[in-house]
Amino acid sequence: MAGSGTFAEIIDGDVFKYYAQGHWNKSSSGKFVPIINPTTRKTHFKVQACTQKEVNRVMESAKTAQKSWAKTPLWKRAELLHKAAAILKEHKAPIAECLVKEIAKPAKDAVTEVIRSGDLVSYCAEEGVRILGEGKFLVSDSFPGNERTKYCLTSKIPLGVVLAIPPFNYPVNLAVSKIAPALIAGNSIVLKPPTQGAVAALHMVHCFHLAGFPEGLISCVTGKGSEIGDFLTMHPGVNCISFTGGDTGIAISKKAGMVPLQMELGGKDACIVLEDADLDLAAANIVKGGFSYSGQRCTAVKVALVMESVANTLVKKINDKIAKLTVGPPEIDSDVTPVVTESSANFIEGLVMDAKEKGATFCQEYVREGNLIWPLLLDNVRPDMRIAWEEPFGPVLPVIRINSVEEGIHHCNASNFGLQGCVFTRDINKAMLISDAMETGTVQINSAPARGPDHFPFQGLKDSGIGSQGIANSINMMTKVKTTIINLPAPSYTMG
Q: Which residues form the catalytic set?
A: 264
Task: State which of residues 142, 226, 487, 494 lies at the interface with ligand NAP (CB under 6 A).
Answer: 226
What is the rounded distance in angstroms from the CA atom of residue 441 to the CA atom of residue 263?
13
Stretch that binds ligand NAP, among 12-20, 264-272, 363-371, 377-385 (CB under 6 A): 264-272
Assign residue 377 a region (left: φ > 0; alpha: ψ between -120 and 50; beta: otherwise): beta
Q: What is the smallest separation between the CB atom of 315 and ligand NAP, expressed in angstroms? A: 25
Contact between 311 and 356 under an 8 Å Cβ cutoff? The reply is no
| Kind of pairing between the strands at 461-462 and 417-418 | antiparallel
Q: What is the dihedral of CA 95, 392, 307, 380, to 10 degrees?
A: 140
Contact between 38 and 104 under an 8 Å Cβ cutoff? The reply is yes
* Contact between 248 and ligand NAP per CB under 6 A: yes
Task: State which of residues 224, 316, 426, 482 lies at the interface with ligand NAP (CB under 6 A).
Answer: 224
Stretch that binds ligand NAP, among 263-271, 307-315, 330-338, 356-364 (CB under 6 A): 263-271
DSSP helix/strand/coil, 322: helix
Q: What is the smallest separation between the CB atom of 407 and ligand NAP, expressed in angstroms? A: 25
What is the rounded distance in angstroms from the CA atom of residue 450 to the CA atom of residue 300?
8
* Contact between 420 and ligand NAP per CB under 6 A: no
Q: Which is nearer to ligand NAP, 255 or 426 (CB)?
A: 255
* Contact between 241 and ligand NAP per CB under 6 A: no
* Contact between 467 and ligand NAP per CB under 6 A: no
* Contact between 168 and ligand NAP per CB under 6 A: yes
Q: What is the smallest separation between the CB atom of 12 and ligand NAP, expressed in angstroms? A: 20
E runs forming strands in 303-438: 303-307, 361-362, 368-369, 372-373, 376-379, 396-402, 417-418, 420-424
Q: What is the smallest separation between the CB atom of 465 and ligand NAP, expressed in angstroms? A: 6
* Contact between 474 and ligand NAP per CB under 6 A: no
Q: Which is nearer to ligand NAP, 127 or 391 (CB)?
A: 391
Residues numbered 280-309 forming contacts with ligand NAP, rule: CB under 6 A: 298
Which helix (DSSP H) or strand (DSSP E) does residue 23 occupy?
strand 23-25
Of 132, 253, 222, residue with least CA distance to 181: 132
Which helix (DSSP H) or strand (DSSP E) does residue 116 occupy?
helix 107-132
Residues that bind ligand NAP (CB under 6 A): 165, 167-169, 194-195, 224-226, 229-230, 233, 244-246, 248, 252, 264-267, 298, 391, 393, 419, 460, 465
